[in-house]
Structure 1
Amino acid sequence: MSNRDLEHYQKMIDGDKESLEAIYDKYEKLLYSFVIKLSSDPSLAEEVLQEVFIKLWTHKAKYDETKGKFSSWIVTITRYTAIDIIRAKKNESVSLEEETDMPEQQGDSVEDLVEWKEKSSEVRKAIDQLSDDQQKIVHLFYFQGCSQSKIAEECDLPLGTVKGRLRLALKHLKKHISTAEGGIRDA
């Protein structure tokens, strides 16, 4: 998060509407394009955007700078909000694409786009290392937005098996990604 973003975010938390507008102006096109890419539905994209910025303004979504970049956080909030709205409408015909395919916007820095694409590539490589069963469950849960019970039903598996495979897949992904980044792995 740039110093300017952090400054705007902190002022917005204190009730400064102009700072909210500054954040909106910076991220609106990126988030709108992201939801369009996920759903191909302009009205859904507008609804999601409105909900995301309401969450920011009402402090229902709080950013913690120690956990990552603001841009990644706001895209994640947007993804989960889109999934929630889609589920609420029970419109299962809308297919969510992989959120790792970040839409390119003119306002984004080249550095951010390169970093996003590198991380996307690392995640895809890590997913390729999983068993076919784990890949399917990860894809359904994270990229299609299916609930664990829906996955259990669709794959004809017990719910506990789905949860176990998902947990194991995430453990393998964490190990592979932290190794690829040269990070410290949990013992």
Structure 2
Amino acid sequence: MGRISDEELYELVQADNKEALEQLYDRYEKLLFSFSYKIVNTSDLAEEAIQDVFMKLWRKKGIYTADKGKFSSFLLTVTRNTCLDLLRKQSKNQVELLDKDLEREQTESTEETVTWNEERQRLQEAVSTLSSEQQEIVQLFYFKGCSQATIAEKKDLPLGTVKGRIRLALQHLRKVYEERGDRIGT
């Protein structure tokens, strides 16, 4: 028996045949990922797009007919539209987050700003009591968001050493705060 055509597999998918869906996925996953990635520029969104496309094939009955052209062309069109929808959704979410940030900044009282500035000053003073090496590691880890592995690589140190220095730095900072009668985060 020869290879089952895409159209035949699609008909089987319409009859709730999971194996047919898996075969279509195996046939098109690499192509659709590469195509999606060119549109969305991130592997996470490209993978989400592919998942959405195959969920549409599974859930929506009759979305493809032979008069729409080749199945592969139809699938690429659905993928392109799905990617564009994901980008619009992501863009909308980013705009909403920016709007919320602006709103929060506008409603933040002067007292809250002063309190935050005082806390930041106390934290900077506490960090300045660390050795220069610990200060640099704390800056990279907590303020620049580097992973411990990235710090180890940048500083050419063993990962265990970086972890130990971060732990010692935190213990030192906690001690400084306690000596002042402050609680961390207040």
TM class, shorter-chain normalised? 0.3 to 0.5
User: TM-score, length-normalised on structure 1?
Assistant: 0.46
Larger relative contact order (C-alpha < 8 A, sep ≥ 6)?
Answer: 1
User: TM-score, length-normalised on structure 2?
Assistant: 0.46
- Greater fraction of residues in helix: 2
